[in-house]
Structure 1
Amino acid sequence: MISLFKKIKNRYNSKFSIIRDFLNLSLIILAVFFINNDNSLFFYLSPVSFYTFKDIPLILITGLLGSTGAATAVLISIIFKTITSGIFIYTSFIYLILILAVQLICSRGFLHNRSHAILSLIIISLILGNGWALMISIATNTFHIMFSTRYNVIFFLSALPECFISLFLLRQAHKYASLDFKRMFWGFSNYFYENGTPRIDHTKLSKISHKLTALIMFSMILIVSTAVLSIHYLMPALFSASQELNSDSTPSAEIFLQEEDIDLHDVTLGKYKNSQDKMKQRIHNETFAFDFRLTLMLLTPSICIGILMDYFIKRRFTRPIVEMSEAMNHLEDMDEEKLIKSVQLLCDLNISTHDELEDLRHSIEKMLYATVDYINVVRNEEKLFHELRVAQEANTAKTSFLSRMSHEIRTPINAILGMDEMILREYDEPQLKEYAVNIQNSGRTLLSLVNDILDFSKIEAGKMEIIPVEYDLSSVINDLVNMTNIKAEQKSLQLIINVDPDIPYILFGDDIRIRQCVLNIMTNAIKYTEKGSVTLDVSYKRKEDSVIVLKFTITDTGIGIKEEDLQKLYSPFERIEETRNRTIEGTGLGMSIVKMLLSLMNTQLNVNSVYGKGSEFSFEIEQKIVKDVPIGNFTVSYKKSIEAKNKYKVLFKAPTARILVVDDTVMNLTVAKGLLKQTMICVDTVENGFDALSQVKKIKYDCIFIDHRMPKMDGIETLQKMHEMADNINKDTPCIALTANAISGARENYLKAGFDDYLSKPIDSAKLEELLCSLLPPSKVNKAGTKEYDELDSSTAVSETKSDSTILMDQLRALHGIDLKAAMDNCGSAELLKELVIQFYETIDEKSSLIENYEFSEDWKNYTIYVHALKSSARLIGAMKLSLMAKALEEAGNNLDISAIRADTPELLSLYRSYKSKLSAISENESAADSELPPIDAGLYDEMISTLKEFIEAFDYDSAESVINELSKYKLSEKDTEKFNSFCKAFKNIEHDKMLEILSS
């Protein structure tokens, strides 16, 4: 359909061009006819002629067809005159002047304006009237006639009618004619008007066009001048002016000769004196007139030919070059739409010269298409580069943020795990240990998630490096079993461990990253396995004498993976079958991290899976052998490690050693003290570098631990200033860096900064003890198994018991209803027992009322909850009878034995409330101790309460606790004491809103 439309359009355009060309050629022929028959178109008004219509066709074709068409008509008429007569060829020169004038008037739009149109009429009338007369008078040696005003007016008026008619018709055509009418004539391509604005022909304005036109005109003038000069010097002797004059037969010539004719017969008769001089003058005048006519004869066709040559050269050569140049000039505009339009404009150029110009146009077109394609490629690359840069900047910002936050994120987690580790070490109460184990598991899960995110950001940023060290393979496998066994037991899964007993157990490699990869795979396997087993196989094969290929294989009986989902396995933050596995926790980063870590270790993960039956994951990694000693039976060694863990003992005791710990986080300082409590080391703590500088001037320490990232003065700066201090008495003391960001080259960087070693957080108690054992003076270290160690161990227990029992134990022993031995067994220390007794005493009124109210309102669920809590709290302080009664009523509540509850609750409440008076003495002693405290300044109190409120609003309970401890060191007013006690109670119950309400009151 489109091709048919194009054929019809091309056929229409071809037909239109034929009609237009025929019309324009007809007008040229008509003009030629008028020019060659101008003698018959005169009206004679003696002594001059009055001519009306002879120049109208030429003016019209100039205004409609342009100078080229009019020059063609003049040239044809010259050729015709040359063939037929040849005498008055020179008179055609005035037509050239007329053509140029009309061309200028039309191209400049003079006809659109009335005043300009009148001015144009006057100019054209002067050219055709007075100009014509001037040319004829010079050519016929009758120049004196032009000095007559009357004749000049007559000449002007004689040309005015035809000029008026011609310009009137052209004004109508240019100003009012339709676009279709204008398209019928060639000239409108040169001066076509749209909305009163003339169209500019860039071909005429081009520099090359001007140069070519000037060259053509110069050549024509040179030729004509040469011919005229040659004739002027060669012809005077051969021609007779009289013959040439007598041969003039036109009415115009006769007119001028009648005025100034000199009869040769009169000269002969002597009627004229000085006849010889006059004859010479006449010959001279006639010679000049002849030269003038000859010049015009040569100049007129030359100019016509020049105009046609100029048109041909412009159309054939200049216009294609200018059009291509114009199209190419727009290519510098890098706007996409304009660029495409410019290319399209060049492609649409109709250049059919069938020569090098056409070849050049096609070459440029091909080049432009290639250029546009290249520009598009460059732009796409720039766009991609910009998007990549934006993505990289965003990723850099994210990585930077995570790196900065890693310390802040890990610090509270490390503190939680450290505190929990102390609970597991120091307390044997079963339920408390159960809570502590749950905290430990949840904390490690949280730390694992945080580590996954941080590790992923490090790998993305290219900051993750493999750090090979000497390690114990059995320890790695132990850790893997310990970290996955609990999760497997929670899902009733069988965890099977198969370890080749011949594997060398001391290897050289990055045990942390190997452990991380296997742990992520095993954790995933447990997550996606609902029943059956998860199996870890560790095998090896020797590659060289000192190198083995260690292979880990993890097999599960889980849900398996579809073939099409295998690629999603490594996509970050994406999980397979999201809908089905929506309840499974995790970030979706584990396997992605495994893939990238294995790539850093020059290996890869192999996956075989059958959907619905299970999966097998495996990877191999080369490891150097440090000690070629077999690992042996892993099951036996694992049981031994569990037993050793349950019977934890510190490596050494050093009661005479003293260390300094510098950390900006109070909880980290507490953890450090707790981890070293059983070593009996004296631990001093400060919270910033400035206090550390003050301490090292006063006290000699055996070891100093400094946190790297601290505000105002970081660890490295603190160490440098310590070394620069002249009065530092600890210049030779070992200094250890503490950091939460253990990256590649950390140890080397810290050693370079002046530290003796470093420890990563969370602090591993075993590594801490090993490090201190190697750094402390041997004379101060009593290692486990020695006589000194055992003596210190027993004396510590006795001294602690005596110290704690001095006041509290005597009071509790004297109380009826308190089993002191059971209380100490349950609490583990007198200090904790004291705290629990105070808490028990302070809650008797509130909790006994709640039990009574729930029993009265028959809210058996809450009743059972509160008697269950009473059972535990009573047992902790040794109120065994009360605990047993609460246990019986808890069972009655669970069984909804209403009669038993009704019968025994009054007795329970009576016994419970009796402890209010029994324990009052201990509470009073506590109050007495408080009365000895120094009173607090009102300004300091307000400031501490304001700070406490800020910490509670920000949920910063660790910092809030430090403020509470500070407030406890001061004696408060009765009103403030009541408020403080209420707050502490809400704080212990973590009642956030109530705490804020108390602080705001």
Structure 2
Amino acid sequence: MSLTRRAFLLVLVIQLLGLGLLALDGWKLQSSVHQEQLHSEKVVELAELLRLQDAFSDFFMTVDQLRRKPDTDIVRLALVESSHIIELMDGLETDWTSTTQAELLASLRAQYWGIGQALSLLAGREMEHRDELTNAAVTAVYSSTYQLQDLIRSLQDKLHDDERLRERDLRNQRQAVFLGMGLWLLLTSILGILYNRITLRPWRELAKLRPGRINLEELERLEYSNIPELVAIGHTLGRLVQGRNKLHLRHQQEVDLLNRQLAESNRVRNDFLAGISHEIRTPMNNLVGNLELLDASLGEQEDRRLILSIQRAVDDLLAVINDLLAFSRLENEALELNPIEFDLAQVVEAICDTHTHLAYEKSLDFVCILEAGLPEMVRGDAGRLRQVLNNLVGNAVKFTETGHVEVRVSQMHHTDRQCTVCFEISDTGIGIAPDRLAHLFEPFVQAEGSMSRSHEGLGLGLSISRRLVELLGGRITVRSQPGRGSVFTFKIQLDIMRALRAADATSPPLLLVENHAGLCEAVHACCSDLGSRSTDVDDLGSAIELLRYPDGEDWNRAVVLLSLGAIQNADRALVDEFIRALPERSTLALLVHDAVELQPLLALLPPTQAVIRRPIRRTAVRALLDNKRTSGIMGLRWVENLALETDSTTSGSPTPASEPAAPPARGASPWDSWRILAVDDNPVNLKLLQNLLEKRGYQLLTADDGETALQVLEHETVDLVLMDCMMPRLDGLSATRRFREREKGRWTRVIALTANAVGGDRERCIAAGMDDYLEKPVRRAALYSMLDRYLPPREMPDEIPEPALSTPVVKAVDVQRSEEAVIAQETTNEPDRLNLKVIQDDSDGDHEFESQLIQLFIRDARRRMGSLEQAIGDGNAGTVHLEAHTVKGICAGIGAMAMCQLAYELEQRSSSGNLAGAGELLDSLRAEYGYVEQQLDAYLQLQADGE
């Protein structure tokens, strides 16, 4: 039966049930109306009987009066009342239909008619037979009265019975209505369920089927598949869905194909960029190294300028390569944050130092303002922050020809643990047109279409900076006007690790003679953080007046900081007057860009005791004030050296030296009083450490594992320990813990040597009792800077060295190159196979040491290969992990970066206990070792032929 017929039958049944219930209710209503009418009639009859009863009472009283006093008038009154009673009974007899009641009324009427006749006789006979007639009338009245009362009582009982019946009928009727309603609800519910099963349930079962799974076979297996309409609709839906599924499958296959093609395209692009980087970077590194060696051997300034020009071109090319690699890595979303603890001021000032020379060449006012209140040590990704600042500051200097570039760092708001730091880089450069601001942070977009011809660059710096700032949780904005300059601003959150060092109330005052507002603000902010009162004047005349009339300020213990801009237009007489005005115990410091500016100033101002490079650094101002407070700064000093001395004797964060000091003559070293224990199971690394430490004059002890190191420390007293973290027998962490347990009464500095300083090894080193850490491979500048922090030199030369013209630029190049190396390491997956520059840097031109180092590497690498082969064959993942870690270290120390990468992969694979594929990695490692060994032999042969 079809759905239509089933639905029609159900509706018909529901309608018939409704009609039946309505008919029943009508019958009940009609019966109730009839009963109500009967009841009303009985009520009327009762009322008439009561009137009749009243008439009987009046008649009874008249007859009784007649009996006591016969009188014609009373007889006549009795006749009238008797006639009235008969009329009332005639009316009742006419209205009533009950037989019993009618007979009773007829009997009463007959009796009263007889009474009336008797009364008439009594009135006609003039009271003859009075007594007899009167008694008969009274008897008749009594009898009729009793009968009438019986009739009224029976009628009243009848009415009461009718009332009870009516109440019972109403109650029954209500029950019937409620029962009918319940029956109706029950029947409609049953019919609704039947309708649901017959009509709606099949549709719900059809709806339960997922669109991607509907097919004809499933529809045929449905419980109600015999419903023609449902089957027809299901077949239609099945065909539609099957067609759609085929279309969706085809589209999905096309999308998968496009995704694979896109992934392959990205891989090819990244491989291409990595290959380009490798092919360009290798000769570039050699070129940079040879240029540095050539620069050190030349004496003519013109030759140095040519070398400097070539160095800048190389650095620009490396910057382009690094931008491409960084952009590629950002496109693939492969960059991750690496939060570390760092000195915020040091990072910002180091970036400013990088771009100082170019700003100086373009005669720009370049100032770095660190507003008061900034924390000293924070935690965040210093590398990403450094990269963003380097891009923004570099662009500001590059696109500004006249005017100024200002770097401002301020603290917006902070809690005890976090702060929001705002970085603002403003310039007076070419500016940006409003219509190009919206596209400024897109890749390969610059401010003007012709800018790529007038200003070098790919247009990737701002795009990379925006993504890095977003990765740091901030947002970068720009305000600009064409021809008036630009302001780039970004804010990030940093964790506060250590607030600014408490201000020293004994700090000497500082008088700044400078007419540049930005520089004055920078100096005032530094002095405010350090607790020193600072005052600025525009020229020498104002300074002379202030020094002669101090107005309550004690300038005898002050530091007078004088800039080139304040005296460049002053005559000699005014300068001499300024020198005479200087208080006897004050310190005169000069603020210059480099030694070229310094030489004429020294001749003009012989009392000069300290020199500060521009832009001003907070560490330099602190060193200047601290040394004035403690020692008075005797002799001429570069404040950078003062800062190094100050930081090496405090517990604060070190300020790394710009360049490692030259190796002193043996026996006259300022470091020869310090004893150092170097612990490393890698003989190549140990040889490198020995060479670097002995060149500085340190007293050196060595150990090849943790057990040996503990034995040495038990019998020898040392000032510092360089401890490798991963070693056989006893690792560096465990050895440090045992040493700390044994150590009594003193604290020996322990520096960790770790290859995983960016991971969790840092925290584990500190927890084990180590004081600091160095990343492997250890570089000379980093090692010397770390040692100077904990083992300051015994004395430093008092004479100020006169740096060559290229000194600041070499520093900038080194800083930039170290950052580029980090970026390159993060953005490429194909390392240099063999970088001989690593060996050359570590040997410092000592060919004999190079030969010893290479022979040591070849011998140890062969032995490690055999150990790896045996461990892989035995399935000993722990030994494989340890040996691979050691091979990684010696390869990094020699510059064999491809071998280092393969050893790292083998180390990572074995760390989980899974040696699947380890044999293939070992084969690749052996093949790469063959190449490295061949290249090293060729290099040694070339050195021998050169000698």
Higher relative contact order (CA 8 A, sep 6+): 2
Which of the five TM-score ranges fits, normalised by the shorter chain?
A: 0.3 to 0.5
- Could you state the TM-score of these two structures normalised by the residue count of structure 1? 0.34
More helix by share: 1
- Could you state the TM-score of these two structures normalised by the residue count of structure 2? 0.36
